[in-house]
Structure 1
Amino acid sequence: MRYLPLNKDDRTQMLSVIGVDSIDDLFETVPKAARLDGLIDLPTHKSEQSVEQFFQRLSNKSTPAGSVPFFCGAGAYKHHIPASVDHLIQRSEFLTAYTPYQPEISQGTLQTLFEFQTQVALLTGMEVANASMYDGSTACAEAVVMAHRVARGKKSKAILAPGLHPHYAAATQTLASTLSIKIDERECRMGRDDNVINHIDDDTSCVVVQSPNVFGEIVDLRPIAEKAHAHNALLIAVFTEPVALAAITPPGEQGADIVVGEGQGLGVGLAFGGPHVGLFACRQKLVRQMPGRVCGETVDANGDRGFVLTLSTREQHIRREKATSNICTNSGLCCLAFTIHMSLLGDAGIQKLATLNHEYACHLADVLDAIDGVSVENETFFNEFTVRLNKPAADVVQALADQGILGGVPLTRLAPDGDPNLLLVCATETSSEEDIAAFGSALTEILS
């Protein structure tokens, strides 16, 4: 495709039509401190070889998760991904597939999405799931907006539990700020999720609770669901670690009306922060208010099995004012990777994987709790928990990194006003005995 830039007269005419004097006026809503003043400090030109060498040196400064003992979680988890997952998603019919605007001729794409939906519905204990979303945080935000639609504007308040991942809360705040939704957000603290019950009233459209929460605590959703339903509000259950759903009672069985979360833990690598894939499921009665798309199974004119795009409620398919979301991707390749990994594991495999994760986390908790200056704060957890240190967690993490150990995420990385001595640590099936021993030994030395 040729690049044909607009000339000055073209740009002036376009700006005049939309009613602004300059391109800079389009960025007035961006804080001045965040705007770039002038050009980036880069050379005007370099040879291809020089650029390649520069970025290789830059890349070498990073520490890949698989190269050192790794105990970070906080919303992105390191799991073993079978080689067959990457092999299959690299096939050209998957790698280059795009949104099926003529779905009847995209049977392969529709079938994989249908299988994905089935897996998500079973994993969450819900009746219907959509064909994925951007990531867990935007899925959470979309769920709050969906609850507002279900309430038909008669309820304006959405309650966010204290254990909701701060990034999820921030994404929700951003989307809600453009609508008439009041966000009632509790301070990010441990052991306070049950307190949201006291804030539910007749103006509440939904209550958002994460389990396991950002501190790793497993929350009993049943009493919260009961109180929410008594006030005709919806319970939105959130998760960041999909493997956990194979070990705890699914949110749907605990009374959740909408379940959203992050699917990265299955099939999708860390990749230094993305891309991820959002999971979204709900009760059958709410399906017409669900964002995204739903693929269905049917039979063709010959009676053979086939797949169709049953529901498309995003703005690319219908009138914008009727759309339930403006989401323009379903992270299709990540969605496929999730589906392949889940298919390889099967029902017994995902449960075994969950058991291994919990066992390794219990072992790690025992090792850390025995160290002077460390106390495990959780009474319940799956594969992630919170420890309190006798020194600022950020300093300890840096000292661990200097010894080649990625030893968790300081709470202040997620919540700047949080307790500086709290550290979130995670163990998965990739955490070896040697890694845990090295972590314990290094931490003992740093805290002594």
Structure 2
Amino acid sequence: MRYLPLTDPDRAAMLEKIGADSVDVLFADVPAEHYLDGPVAGLPLAASEMAVEKHMRRLSKKNLAAADAAFFCGAGAYRHHVPATVDHIIQRGEFLTAYTPYQPEIAQGTLQMLFEFQTQVARLYGCAVANASMYDGSTACWEAIVMAARLTKRRGVLISGGLHPHYVSVAQTMARFTDEAIAYQLPTLEADPGDDALIARISDDTSCVVVQYPDIMGRIPDLQRIADAAHEKGALLIVANTEPVALGALEAPGNLGADIVVGEGQAIGVGLQFGGPYLGLFAITNPKHVRQMPGRLCGETVDADGKRGFVLTLSTREQHIRREKATSNICTNSGLCALAFSVHMTLLGEKGLTALAAENHRLACLAADRLDKVPGVRVLNDTFFNEFTLVLDKEARPLVRKLAEHGVLAGVALGRLFPHGEGLDDGLLVTVTETVTEDDIETLAKSLEEALS
């Protein structure tokens, strides 16, 4: 039985305080057709715990797990091997401290980990300063956009068609409540990432240009060229990276002119986990901008006895005093996921990350070469890391569903990512990580041949 501590007088007092006649007023923005007019169809009013467990197990058996299939899905969430050591270490007592380390004397384990995490992210991104993580990649991207507005005093936001559509959607949703004017065009099935067209749209009103690297189709934009064009107009370049393993092979965005680098850290240390929780990464190249960063920053110091210690150096969280001065109100720190990322990155080391990236790229090249030989299939990309787009001679979404019924998760249909995009229905985004075997690649190729014949 749930414990509901509020009484009817409590609720009446709160409603009176905010000037609402009833609780229903608080849901006025929800369209009427989405209201329930009774119990959810098919659900019993009550059930025993054992009955619920049995029912949930039956439902779970309908899932096709990534480990039980030839798995080629990516598009912002990647299946990599996470060593068992990661799960063991994150449960150690040194890290079982406060989620929010406001009292450094009892949170040294968490603070030291976050300090080392920041160092790893800064080096990975080629930046001067990284914060102590954010909620996820999409919200980190939005935070970068509003940070750019604060720095440039401009409101024009130019988003590349290659940015993940979920990131675009978050930005468009948040911009409804701010003055940001977002300019975005849907991508097309072209091998060229469209750098020329993007650069041509940069104006004197542009606060930032947002580019994904590699982009949603696996293409690799010319960051240095875009950065030079943006800076010439006084705008900042924001680079979003959804696959951090790629930076074991590609040049770091911060070394190519990016001003703010954000991304999703899930691929390192954090499993797919049915879509979350994930890990937002955020870093900047100019340390002078550090006070405009969202989130929190851990620093190294010495205590009264001269011993090395760690503290929360900057913290612009929404619950602090002077909340109207805060740089963010969605900058939740994904502490446990940041710890898992840091442990996995430490286990890999620089050489390990480079070797992992090389293996991902090797297998992806094998897959691209093999799939390009399948009748009715064309590999779109000229360049890629571990993710590339196939152009099929029929719509991709029904084909993906058909192959899933035969134990092959062939990738992500672009028609699913861009339901309103024209000319994208035949695109299939295929991802190949170190967890894919050469037998899996052959299975996918033969399955495509059969499905397209």
Whether the TM-score (by the shorter chain) exceeds 0.5 is yes
Matched with 1:220 is 222
- The unaligned stretches of length 5 or more in structure 1 are none
Which stretch of the first structure deviates more once superposed, 348-357 or 173-182?
Answer: 173-182
| Correspondence for 2:232 among 230, 233, 242 | 230
Shift of 1:2: 8.9
1:268-417 alignment runs, 5 A limit: 268-283=270-285, 284-327=287-330, 329-417=332-420
Cα RMSD for the two superposed structures: 1.5
Partner residue of 1:75?
76
- For 1:3, give the aligned amino acid: Y
Match of 2:266 in 1: 264
1:186 aligns with 2:185: yes
Partner SS for 1:272: helix
Matched with 1:138 is: 139
Partner Cα distance (1:270, 1:97) in 2:
25
In the alignment, what sits opposite 1:424? Answer: 429
How far 1:92 moved relative to its partner?
4.9
Is 1:12 equivalent to 2:17 in the alignment? no
Q: Provide Cα deviations, 1:118-144, integer angstroms capped at 9, x if missing partner.
A: 000000000000000011000001110
Q: CA shift at 1:328, angstroms?
A: 5.4
How far off its partner does 1:388 sit?
0.5
CA separation of 1:37/1:281 partners in 2, compared to 1, >3 Å: closer, same or farther?
Answer: farther
* Structure 1 residue 327: Cα displacement: 2.5
Q: 2: CA distance between counterparts of 1:335 and 1:209?
A: 24
Query: Aligned partners of 1:134, 1:272: CA distance in 2, in Å?
Result: 16
**Distance (whole Å) between structure 2 residues aligned to residue 240 and residue 425 of structure 1:** 15
Aligned-partner Cα distance in 2 for 1:161–1:428 = 25
Partner of 1:36: 36
Report the Cα offset of residue 93 of structure 1. 4.8
Q: In 2, distance between residues paired with 1:266 and 1:305?
A: 28
CA distance in 1, matches of 2:270, 2:93: 18
Structure 2 letter corresponding to 1:39: P
Residue type of the partner of 1:338?
F
Query: CA shift at 1:12, angstroms?
Result: 2.6
1:51 corresponds to: 52
- 1:134/1:331 contact within 8 Å kept: yes
Report deviation, 1:8.
2.9
Aligned runs of 1:147-226 on 2, under 5 Å?
147-151=148-152, 154-189=153-188, 190=190, 191-194=192-195, 195-226=197-228
Alpha-carbon shift at residue 192 of structure 1 (Å): 4.4
Between the aligned partners of 2:2 and 2:95, the Cα distance in structure 1 is 27
Residue in structure 2 matched with residue 254 of structure 1 by the alignment? 256
Shift of 1:7: 3.0
SS at match of 2:300: strand
User: Do 2:139 and 2:330's aligned partners in 1 also have CA atoms closer than 8 Å?
Assistant: no
For 1:78, give the aligned amino acid: R
Q: Is the 8 A contact 1:145 1:176 kept in 2?
A: no
Are 1:128 and 1:287, in contact at CA under 8 Å, matched by a contact in 2? yes
Tell me, which stretches of 5 or more residues in structure 2 are unaligned? none
Alignment deviations for residues 131-160 of structure 1 (CA, whole Å, 9 cap, x no partner): 000110000011101111112xx3110110
Quote the sequence identity (%): 61
Give the Cα–Cα distance (whole angstroms) in 2 for the partners of residues 34 and 175 of structure 1. 22
Conserved 8 A contact 1:298-1:305: yes
Name the SS of the counterpart of 1:235 in structure 2. strand
Of residues 27-36 and 158-167 in structure 1, the stretch that sits farther from structure 2 once superposed is 27-36
